[in-house]
Structure 1
């Protein structure tokens, strides 16, 4: 009888990538598929045709030292919880048979090897090897990461760009970010992140087995994004200079960070802050097939002593003091991942908070979550993981204390400011989506700005204050814009039927989003007289020349203290706000006919709104649009002047892509950004 051998095995990449919705990973050398669904390999035989009566094929699947061996059958039937391999008897090509290999819906994520063994009359003839990468499958109903709507799968798995929200609740800054999950090498680096983790290094078999569970995977990734306990991706830095690395504000996407980490032999990349940690984690989770989105919590509390109270101290002239270990970040960024929580029982499925920014240890390691959003709303602080910590981030009360030395001059409470607005990018649109109501029961409807200004309670917010005799309210006339004066009003009401003489102290300090303010850069002091029951409004402004060189990308803490000369009572009102930076404008010629591998032209325009000349470096990038980054030097531009830069690019893949531009100013602490969503259509 003529010999029969396996000559070659084809992984049928185009067909499999399309079937498994992994076509954007085509740059990977390995076949990329999703668990719970079959993929096809075509076997090329040498010699006589395949005869099912005397010939058989076995498949061995290997992950590390774990393996399973199974016969190739002629039936598709079988349990979704086991590996299976089958041929379709209809249309079988005896010289080139197709074998379908199907993984369990609970298979572990990782890089697998497989082996085909041909047996003829019970004797093994030849073995052929191959490999594939297996990811979670949010399209499969039985997978624990299944998410039921196609537009959400497109947004939370396939979208390789997005917006990170920063600034303040009253003046949101939408920052473009490129997740870069399809850029060459990113997939492999994300898988290597699991291999480098302490869990894998300590016990490889146990780690491989546990990688079937998104709860386990998400905790490993949360810890590995920061480098506090391991060879993690990013080193955090929140104070001092960044000369030994990159300023966190300069990053525009995850790809550069992950590539630098891999190229360095897994040494931490310097430096990251919360939005960088979160955005890189979002990339890793989307690569692994776990739906993920970036979330911003405005006025996020860091409660170090678990009493759900944050203390803030001010001087008698309105200067904010650094006197507490607790803190409130103007914004804090984390991620949510979508998964079924079989470990917690019904009701806790859905979005889970994960925070890779190193703040507190969880199980001895700097990671956080997955904490069910539903558990945070219901204050289920008895549940794992880290529900109490996240609950405090969105619900703590603020105690505001005015001091003279160590003597308390006044005390008030703010129960609305923490967690006043929580948002993420809307599905399919470049705008924010308000998800505050997912985290907390709202006392009143929350607008797209903030709920804290809707209260009438005398002591509930910092933007107003009251004593027995005086009421004060601080209001910005409009959201501040770079190059324009910051105009604000101080409304003062005499609540008593006697005249009053008041000292008015106004104080402005620059502050980073996560720190107490620095020294005062603007102040104003005066005395006013109020008739009995009089209501008056004081108008103030801070000129651009007074804040431009101090603030940059920072925020401003503005406080007013009224001192009743007669009664010695003091009352404080305060507001923290950001100044909206100018935007780069991007226009594309004939943007309705953009196709792959056809050169396009974009024009980036910048107008200088500042009171002095500026210069800098313009960087343009776009995953799927531009290979690497394009850099242009911008010469000095006078106040009010406009400059344009033409940019050519050539899309390499279809879909909605983000073209983003970043202007780093040489003589200011500011980055000017802009983005344009580009729809690349089939030719």
Structure 2
């Protein structure tokens, strides 16, 4: 920085012999040493507790250290701290600011100063002033600004994480995978965190500057920003816009025409850029995986190790009783009668930090959930909640541990209703939190975290089981219990889906009934299928069937059913979730037994190929070929194949066909140019006028290296 043109004299008009001409922030050397290369082109970005180097170039007069002292002043907001520059080789004090010049760092017209912040400095943009002092005078220069981040490499930092592989995955990697679907058939969706995209770091700093905490009390906010617990809580609230000038507005149903359908996002940078360019107006729209992925980006930028985690069959416990009630009709249709719900999958973030407020036993991964579900202390934020506290059922541990515990370990009571009265029930102690995944280190394969969340409940855990209903008896039994009066239920019912159904194929199911009694039975089977959103109860049925069957004592009866494509193609698209339920009723005893399954239907494939391979050079043109083959048995009207990719393509590129015959192909060739290094994503979607929804969506990972 040329201080002749950009210096403001802050103190008087007295002159020392030496004058500052230029300041070199040694950006390349500092960025390499602090592992911040690529985070910003506007500011020097360094990490707390680690020295960074600044070289001062003086004018024609030689600086005389014995006659002229150097004093640095670091400003944060409206407060500052003076740092005398010392000649020393002593170790840095981890608890205070220091500035040192080593032997050999002073030349005739320059000096290199090594500045070190306290290890628990606040994460923020700092301004630096240099004072050149003699006994008679002081000359002062504003020499520039730098951004200070957490330092997960440093043992004394509360976000220190020990393994280099963890640092690479949870801080430096700009690429992740989000797992979606159901426990029985989960799919992976890549996500570009985009922390090296231009402007992303500045957007993260802006997020802190417009938070209610900062706007209410700037000095207190700056002081608290040294603590990753505080940072994660503030950022969690700011990712959604419920209480503040947050980034994303949530929406889970209805039209998305006045924004972006959440399923169309593939990276955080575009979202953050839109938020900044709209003067902090919320970006429309997000759902859980979008909220979580953006939060993960902000946390990684600020230096807090973070990963995106998916909980399959996550409970939303609105009343805080750690139980979820679900209601079914006597014909197997799931009813919208409960405020609680089971999400087929829910996505949140784990952040790694020490919990000085709780004690060392609660250090490590913490759940932080930015999806606005329930208020906590009057605000839509959730966490950080220690994973170890969830597993040990320390439900009072701050923050929001009871709510998070219910998400992964609540019981489900399934009730069968007829005429508004309960005629049967089932207790399910296993399905909630059935599977918990995150991306493995260095691989796109999932790492199973279920065991880190789920310990013993303090009771016998069991698989889903059935209890018959008896009028006036409403207790919930555990596995192995007898029905009222000491009678065995006598029937065992299960429901399974054959294979992995895909769009255009028949959905095959199997109901198995075992008569464990010594009497023959006349049974009525009701089977029902409903489409559902991943985070709510199903919509109305699109298929149902019923029939009477007889079963002998000890017999195992297998009932096969199939839903042809013609029965569902007008309501189902790729990756949609289906709820199937069977109610078996005994005609004589009126006992009813329920079995349920939820599965997501597969989507046809879109092929994406990049000429020369998936590793490309920045700022060079490369060709990508995208194609879709109609695997359906009928022609598709007005077929559209759309390609887009943040950091690779400007806008959307589309190919259209009036009619796409069975077995025929639609394709699009695009020229991609990467504007920054890192991992980028190409996204392609296929749709047609026969369906109101996107039929298939595919992602392709592209590795970009500097030219």
- Find the partner of 1:6 among 20, 38, 47: 20
TM-score of the aligned structures, taking structure 1 as reference length: 0.93
Question: Could you tell me how far 1:461 is from its partner in structure 2?
Answer: 11
Q: Give, in whole Å, the separation in 2 of the partners of 1:522 and 1:261.
A: 43
Aligned counterpart, 1:637: 660
Aligned counterpart, 2:697: 673
- Find the partner of 1:241 among 230, 252, 255: 255
- Verify: 1:403 aligned to 2:426, yes or no: no
CA contact (8 A) 2:682 2:702 kept: no
Q: Give, in whole Å, the separation in 1 of the partners of 2:73 and 2:497.
A: 68
Task: Output aligned runs, 1:76-95, within 5 Å.
Answer: 76-77=89-90, 78-95=92-109
Question: Could you tell me how far 1:498 is from its partner in structure 2?
Answer: 2.5
Aligned counterpart, 2:474: none
Deviations 1:348-367 (A, max 9, x none): 11100011111111121110
Aligned counterpart, 2:642: 618
Question: Could you tell me how far 1:102 is from its partner in structure 2?
Answer: 1.1
Question: Which segment is superposed worse, 11-20 or 84-93?
Answer: 84-93
Deviations 1:153-192 (A, max 9, x none): 1111121121111110111111122212221221111111
Question: Could you tell me how far 1:47 is from its partner in structure 2?
Answer: 1.9
Give SS of 2:275's match.
helix
Question: Could you tell me how far 1:659 is from its partner in structure 2?
Answer: 2.9
Aligned counterpart, 1:558: 580
Distance 1:279 1:127, change over 3 A: same
CA contact (8 A) 1:225 1:356 kept: yes
Aligned counterpart, 1:150: 164
- Find the partner of 2:536 among 502, 515, 518: 515
- Verify: 1:192 aligned to 2:206, yes or no: yes
Give SS of 1:23's match.
coil
Aligned counterpart, 1:45: 58
CA contact (8 A) 1:168 1:330 kept: yes
Question: Which segment is superposed worse, 177-186 or 215-224?
Answer: 177-186
Question: Which segment is superposed worse, 341-350 or 7-16?
Answer: 7-16
Give SS of 2:257's match.
coil
- Find the partner of 2:221 among 197, 207, 218: 207
Question: Could you tell me how far 1:255 is from its partner in structure 2?
Answer: 1.6
- Verify: 1:315 aligned to 2:316, yes or no: no
CA contact (8 A) 1:8 1:128 kept: no
Give SS of 1:549's match.
coil
Task: Output aligned runs, 1:277-292, within 5 Å.
Answer: 277-292=291-306
Question: Could you tell me how far 1:340 is from its partner in structure 2?
Answer: 0.6
Aligned counterpart, 2:509: 488
Deviations 1:576-617 (A, max 9, x none): 111122333322333287434443333223233344416224
Aligned counterpart, 1:536: 557
Give SS of 2:603's match.
coil
Give SS of 1:16's match.
helix
- Find the partner of 1:168 among 172, 182, 207: 182
- Verify: 1:59 aligned to 2:83, yes or no: no
Q: Give, in whole Å, the separation in 2 of the partners of 1:152 and 1:630.
A: 35
- Find the partner of 1:123 among 137, 152, 160: 137
Task: Output aligned runs, 1:526-605, within 5 Å.
Answer: 526-552=547-573, 553-591=575-613, 594-605=616-627
Give SS of 2:66's match.
coil
- Note the residue ranges of structure 1 that are not aligned, 5 or more in a row: 444-451
Task: Output aligned runs, 1:642-657, within 5 Å.
Answer: 642-655=665-678, 657=679
Q: Give, in whole Å, the separation in 2 of the partners of 1:191 and 1:2.
A: 37
- Verify: 1:361 aligned to 2:375, yes or no: yes
Q: Give, in whole Å, the separation in 1 of the partners of 2:107 and 2:567.
A: 80
Give SS of 1:174's match.
strand
- Note the residue ranges of structure 2 that are not aligned, 5 or more in a row: 1-14, 468-476
Give SS of 2:492's match.
strand
Q: Give, in whole Å, the separation in 2 of the partners of 1:322 and 1:681.
A: 51
CA contact (8 A) 2:525 2:583 kept: yes
CA contact (8 A) 2:16 2:138 kept: no
Give SS of 2:291's match.
helix
Task: Output aligned runs, 1:22-41, within 5 Å.
Answer: 22-26=36-40, 28-41=41-54
Aligned counterpart, 1:500: 521
TM-score of the aligned structures, taking structure 2 as reference length: 0.90
Distance 1:240 1:595, change over 3 A: closer
Task: Output aligned runs, 1:314-393, within 5 Å.
Answer: 314-393=328-407
Question: Could you tell me how far 1:405 is from its partner in structure 2?
Answer: 1.3
CA contact (8 A) 1:584 1:661 kept: no
Give SS of 1:519's match.
strand
Deviations 1:560-582 (A, max 9, x none): 11122222221111101111223
- Find the partner of 2:154 among 123, 140, 155: 140
